[in-house]
Structure 1
Amino acid sequence: MNSAASDTELFRMMSLREDHKAFQEIFNRYWDQLFQIALHKTKSPDLAQDLTQEVFISLWKYRHSIKIKAELSAYLITMVKYGFFKLAAQKEQQFEALNATDNTEPSHNLNGFSIMEFNELYDKIDTITDTLPPRCREIFLMKRNHEMSVEEIAKSFNISPSTVRNHLAKATGTFKEKLTEDIALASLLWILFN
């Protein structure tokens, strides 16, 4: 496999030609980064490993229905954050079921990683992102897609960290405004941006 191939080429080869080597190259490129993000979210190496594996399993399993509009890395990072959100929701459901007073058995039919649901969310995020002013959008994408710190973004634009924080606050405000009617998405917003 040509390790100089772009992410777009690799994803196309993986999805159209069932190319396992292309998938392996994507896995090799992004495993460490995604695992670190998952570890930051879960604070557990075991959960982080499970979450990262689930992302790659879903990537392969749903390769024909995944539509990546921007960067593959951004899509994968968002998948990790979405997976964490779903994991947290499942744990909450399990906790509630254990504490139920009617002695019902906890449901093992918990809502797992749904690529259709994720793609819908990803499309909404992209649509809202496109409405942001240009500089605000650039800063937001650097934070979301590349996991850059406020200081790193400030340095790359040669602006103050407070200006970066203002742009991120504006982006977050825009998302909150657009997602107010959807409580689940509003909850997910916090996880995606932190």
Structure 2
Amino acid sequence: MSSSSIRFYASWTDAALLEAVALDNRGAFAEVYERYWYRVFALAYRKLKSRETAEELVQELFAALWHKRTEQTIAQLDHYLLAAINHRVLSYIRAYRVRTHYATYCHTVQIETTHETEESLDASDLSAALLRSVELLPEKSKEVFRLSRLEHQSVEEIATHLGVTSKTVEYHLTKSLKLLRLYLREFMVMLAPFLLFIR
């Protein structure tokens, strides 16, 4: 893009840029990006303290802005972009917490299992118990758990896929983890007589 065209787009209002973007004008979109990317990045970085993650979320936001350019009506561009990046950051943090909680839980179960028997409990037994426990989950919770843990979809992706809110997805993930913790505890209780026998 020539320097003259860059100066030309720089003089446009946000409203004019959005109209041009809706008509597939890449120059106008480049100006939107140049005008706002740092403010959006700075907000994401301030909340996440991770340059790499902040950059990734900013790129996803601007990619979505381009892909949905003909579908959305934006009244005030700066407010829209800052609210949108804030939403993406919060979704990322919530998903990260769920993943971290689940990883910690799995690690804890593994340690407890090792301590409760002189010989390590066969990993296939625990895996089978986990699979059986997943099958006991309510249908909606099971579907959300499957999409999150087996297909590695984000909370936002699952919400879009199932046509529900992110809060509903988080509810089902939390419910699934609580139920699985309960089911696996029952599994360990059932093993107790055997564990006493082999000691």
Q: What's the TM-score once normalised by structure 1's chain length? A: 0.53
Unaligned runs of 5+ in 2: 110-125, 131-145, 169-199
Q: Among 154, 157, 161, which residue is 1:110 paired with?
A: 154
Unaligned runs of 5+ in 1: 117-181, 186-194
Tell me how far 1:52 sits from its aligned partner. Answer: 1.1
Q: For 2:63 and 2:32, locate their aligned partners in 1 and report how far apart those are by CA, in whole Å.
A: 12
Query: Are residues 1:96 and 2:101 paired?
Result: yes
Distance 1:31 1:53, change over 3 A: same
| Amino acid in the other structure paired with 1:46 | E
Tell me how far 1:65 sits from its aligned partner. Answer: 1.8
Supply the RMSD in Å over aligned alpha carbons: 3.1
Query: Are residues 1:36 and 2:80 paired?
Result: no
Identity of aligned residues (%): 23
Distance 1:110 1:59, change over 3 A: same
SS in 2 for 1:5: coil
| Amino acid in the other structure paired with 1:42 | L
Tell me how far 1:45 sits from its aligned partner. Answer: 1.0
Q: For 2:11 and 2:159, locate their aligned partners in 1 and report how far apart those are by CA, in whole Å.
A: 28
Tell me how far 1:71 sits from its aligned partner. Answer: 1.1
Q: What's the TM-score once normalised by structure 2's chain length? A: 0.52
Tell me how far 1:89 sits from its aligned partner. Answer: 1.9
Query: Are residues 1:73 and 2:73 paired?
Result: no
Q: For 1:76 and 1:11, locate their aligned partners in 2 and report how far apart those are by CA, in whole Å.
A: 12
Tell me how far 1:114 sits from its aligned partner. Answer: 9.0
Q: For 2:65 and 2:158, locate their aligned partners in 1 and report how far apart those are by CA, in whole Å.
A: 11
Q: Looking at CA atoms only, which structure, 1 or 2, has the larger radius of gyration?
A: 2
Tell me how far 1:93 sits from its aligned partner. Answer: 2.6
| Amino acid in the other structure paired with 1:48 | A
- Checking the alignment, whether the CA contact within 8 Å between 1:34 and 1:76 is kept in structure 2 is yes
Tell me how far 1:94 sits from its aligned partner. Answer: 1.6
- Checking the alignment, whether the CA contact within 8 Å between 2:155 and 2:166 is kept in structure 1 is no
Tell me how far 1:97 sits from its aligned partner. Answer: 3.3
Distance 1:114 1:14, change over 3 A: farther
Distance 1:115 1:31, change over 3 A: farther
Once the two structures are superposed, what CA deviation does each residue of 1:174-193 show, in whole Å capped at 9, x if it has no partner?
xxxxxxxx9949xxxxxxxx
Tell me how far 1:34 sits from its aligned partner. Answer: 0.7
Query: Are residues 1:56 and 2:62 paired?
Result: yes
Q: Among 13, 17, 32, which residue is 2:20 paired with?
A: 13
Tell me how far 1:115 sits from its aligned partner. Answer: 11
Deviates more, 1:106-115 or 1:29-38: 106-115
Tell me how far 1:95 sits from its aligned partner. Answer: 2.0
